[in-house]
């Protein structure tokens, strides 16, 4: 019988998880209230009130995340973890192959952020920032600032919606096809790593979890 070695390190700090779930809650609230604002006239005013409430929640989530980008020098919350290095190129290509093959090829391993999605997360936060700025400017009565702010707000909302939908689908697929407990990890902060088969031949190359983490920090 094959034996495996498991480790369950603490990867996602509480501040990062707080920002993540505030983002999730506020995006759901903003998309829902935004739909009512644009499609149900009798609910326009209450929907607008809720839209602003969720906009402030989104702003809080963004401030927390920007603070972590600036203050954290290493780990899952730092800016560098969203900028995959050359050493992770193979994992990026393997992730692309995994999605293109509809999960038929092996899912690559990573320590914190998926190397393929990491720069997209950074792009998402930039779009969220544009969404906040354009939303409050439109609310203050400004419609033009080199371009149509309302159109920017609508387009940004659509991008955020599709990104979040794909993100949720990807996380579920990762949990089904992988073994790192990605979904529950964003609740308690711990990921499970299957490190090695203890019955591997001696000639088999083994990589420790600390090596994966150190390589990620150096990238």
pLDDT, greater one: 129 or 144: 129
Q: How far apart are CA 211 and CA 58, in angstroms?
A: 36
Rounded to an integer, the average pLDDT of 36-49 is 94
What are the sequence ranges of the domains in the chain? 4-218
| DSSP annotation string for 6-29 | EE--B-S-HHHHHHHHHHHHHHHH
Asked whether residue 54 carries a pLDDT value surpassing 80, the answer given is yes
Domain range 4-218, CATH architecture: Up-down Bundle (1.20)
pTM of the predicted structure, to 2 decimals: 0.81
pLDDT digits (tens, 9 = 90+) for 67-114: 999 998 888 899 988 987 777 888 889 999 988 888 888 888 788 888
Question: So what's the pLDDT on residue 201?
Answer: 45
């Amino acid at each position: 019988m094959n034996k495996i070695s498991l480790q369950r390190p603490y990867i996602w700090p509480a501040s990062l998880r707080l920002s993540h779930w505030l983002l999730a809650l506020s995006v759901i609230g903003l998309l829902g209230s935004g739909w009512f604002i644009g499609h149900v006239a009798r609910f326009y005013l209450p929907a607008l009130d809720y839209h602003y409430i969720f906009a402030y929640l989104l702003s809080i989530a963004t401030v927390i995340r920007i603070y972590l980008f600036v203050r954290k020098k290493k780990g899952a919350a730092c800016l560098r973890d969203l900028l995959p290095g050359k050493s992770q190129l193979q994992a990026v290509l393997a992730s692309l192959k995994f999605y293109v093959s509809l999960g038929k090829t092996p899912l690559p391993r990573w320590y914190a952020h998926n190397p393929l999605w990491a720069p997209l997360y950074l792009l998402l936060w930039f779009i969220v920032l544009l969404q906040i700025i354009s939303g409050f400017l439109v609310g203050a009565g400004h419609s033009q600032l080199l371009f149509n702010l309302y159109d920017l707000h609508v387009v940004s909302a659509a991008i955020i919606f599709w990104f979040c939908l794909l993100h949720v689908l990807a996380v579920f697929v990762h949990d089904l096809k992988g073994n790192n407990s990605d979904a529950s990890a964003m609740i308690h902060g711990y990921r499970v790593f299957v490190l090695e088969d203890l019955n591997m031949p001696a000639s088999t190359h083994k990589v420790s979890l600390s090596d994966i983490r150190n390589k990620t920090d150096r990238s």
